[in-house]
């Protein structure tokens, strides 16, 4: 077996106590505990700034952990809120009440909100698409080709947003659509399992959806499907059946977190990380939640979870990040 010095070109230091956590990847031998140690990056959720008001309702989301916007926040279904990585502020309202639609876009000044239903008092599924330029929301002249609510959707920019699945009025939809900034195109291939209330991440040519439910009877699923812009492929399932999860990242590095189970309802706090092939369980949020918002454009390890039901509505925000920590190294 090769020695560490041969592999790395240097010896392992022997220290009486653990080294500082500032040097990611540093390896040493702790002579007090008699164990090899290293600094590794571990995922953890921490508190972000509280939302303006407790909010739930499967918000649409766009942007990143430091420049996010969530739309159709349930408590007031036309309201939107922006986040700068520290605090939330009220943003201009959508043109009408909407809920359980999907979002996309790069930041809190460039976002899009698609579909959903009209909310109180009508509850009619919609094809409406609204775009935000940092100043105001405007209704896009071209709506979705199909009315849908509860669909998955994401998009790194407002010119490359996609939506998939959903339901209308209670029948599951398997079609998907991509946006080029002016018109929507229905993809040739349909999802293998039409459903709603999934986690979604990625671009209009490399997307991924996971979890969700099929109405009725509203059972939670662990199904994962990937999208290449025209067709859908079934992939390895989540470790946990979940509906109402939220997601972010890319088709090869995504995160899905929270959500709930089929009745009897358990609300989840856990996170699963997708590497393009399979899901791995990762850090837990401090507050289990479903029907919450996220920043869908954020990278895998900079997820944002805001609001939601715990089951009462919460204003709490959490931010995923990597924290350096000392771990014992297994040697053979």
Partner 1 sequence: MADIFNYSVAINTGKGFITHGDRRKFWLRGYPASVWVATDGQESRLWVARNNGTTKTKDEAQALVTAEVEAYQATYDALSAEEKEVRQRPETVTLP
What is the contact surface with partner 1 in residues (CB under 8 A)? 42, 44-50, 58, 86-87, 99-100, 117, 123, 149-150, 170, 197, 215, 218, 260, 263-266, 269, 283-284, 286-288, 290-291, 309-312, 315-318, 321, 323, 325
- CB nearer to partner 1: pick between 15 and 323: 323
C-beta of 21 vs 174, nearer to partner 1: 21
Identify which of residues 100 and 254 has a Cβ nearer to partner 1 in the complex.
100
Report, in Å, the least distance between residue 18 CB and partner 1. 14
The 10 Å Cβ neighbour count of residue 8 is 11
CB distance 259 to 211 below 8 Å: yes
Smallest gap from residue 149 Cβ to partner 1 (A):
8
Half-sphere exposure of 210 (CA within 13 A, CB side): 34
List, in order, residues 6 or more apart from 203 with CB less than 8 Å away.
Answer: 154, 155, 156, 160, 162, 250, 251
Q: Which is nearer to partner 1, 251 or 294 (CB)?
A: 294
Least distance in angstroms from the C-beta of 48 to partner 1: 6
Whole-Å CA distances, 19 to 5, 27, 28, 47, 326: 19, 9, 8, 27, 8
Residue partners of 206: CB distance under 8 A and separation at least 6: 226, 227, 228, 229, 250, 251, 252
Query: Least distance from C-beta 234 to partner 1, angstroms?
Result: 25
Choice between 215 and 293, CB closer to partner 1: 215
Q: C-beta of 313: minimal distance to partner 1 in Å?
A: 9
Find the shortest distance in angstroms from Cβ 229 to partner 1: 29
Please, what is the end-to-end C-alpha distance for the chain in angstroms? 9
Q: Which residues of 23-48 are buried (b: 16+ CB within 10 A; e: fewer)?
A: eeebbbbbeeeeebbbbbeebbbeeb
Is the CB of 230 or the CB of 325 nearer to partner 1? 325
């Amino acid at each position: 077996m090769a020695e560490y010095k041969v592999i790395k070109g240097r010896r392992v230091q022997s220290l009486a106590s653990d080294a500082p956590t500032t040097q990611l990847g540093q390896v040493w031998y702790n002579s007090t505990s008699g164990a090899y140690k290293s600094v590794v990056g571990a995922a953890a959720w921490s508190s972000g700034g509280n939302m303006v008001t407790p909010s739930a309702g499967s918000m649409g989301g766009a942007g990143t952990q430091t420049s996010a916007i969530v739309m159709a926040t349930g408590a007031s279904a036309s309201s939107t809120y922006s986040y700068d990585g520290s605090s939330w502020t009220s943003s201009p309202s959508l043109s009408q009440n909407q809920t359980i639609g999907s979002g996309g876009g790069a930041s809190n000044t460039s976002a899009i909100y698609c579909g959903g239903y009209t909310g109180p008092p009508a509850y009619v599924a919609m094809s409406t698409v609204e775009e935000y330029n940092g100043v105001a929301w405007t209704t896009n002249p071209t709506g979705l080709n199909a009315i849908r609510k509860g669909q998955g959707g994401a998009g790194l920019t407002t010119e490359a947003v996609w939506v998939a699945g959903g339901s209308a009025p209670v029948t599951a939809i398997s079609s998907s659509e991509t946006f080029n900034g002016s018109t929507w195109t229905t993809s040739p291939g349909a999802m293998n399992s039409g459903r709603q209330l999934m986690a979604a991440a990625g671009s209009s040519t490399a997307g991924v959806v996971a979890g969700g439910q099929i109405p009725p009877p509203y059972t939670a699923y662990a199904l994962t499907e990937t999208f290449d812009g025209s067709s859908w492929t079934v992939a390895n399932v989540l470790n946990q059946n979940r509906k109402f999860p939220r997601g972010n990242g890319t088709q090869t590095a995504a995160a899905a977190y929270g959500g709930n189970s089929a009745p009897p309802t358990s609300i989840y706090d856990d996170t699963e990380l997708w590497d393009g092939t399979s899901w791995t369980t990762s850090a837990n949020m401090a507050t289990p939640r479903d029907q919450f918002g996220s920043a869908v454009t954020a990278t895998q390890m900079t997820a944002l979870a805001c609001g939601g039901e715990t089951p009462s509505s919460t204003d709490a925000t959490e931010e995923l990040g990597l924290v350096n920590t000392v771990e014992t190294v297994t040697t053979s």
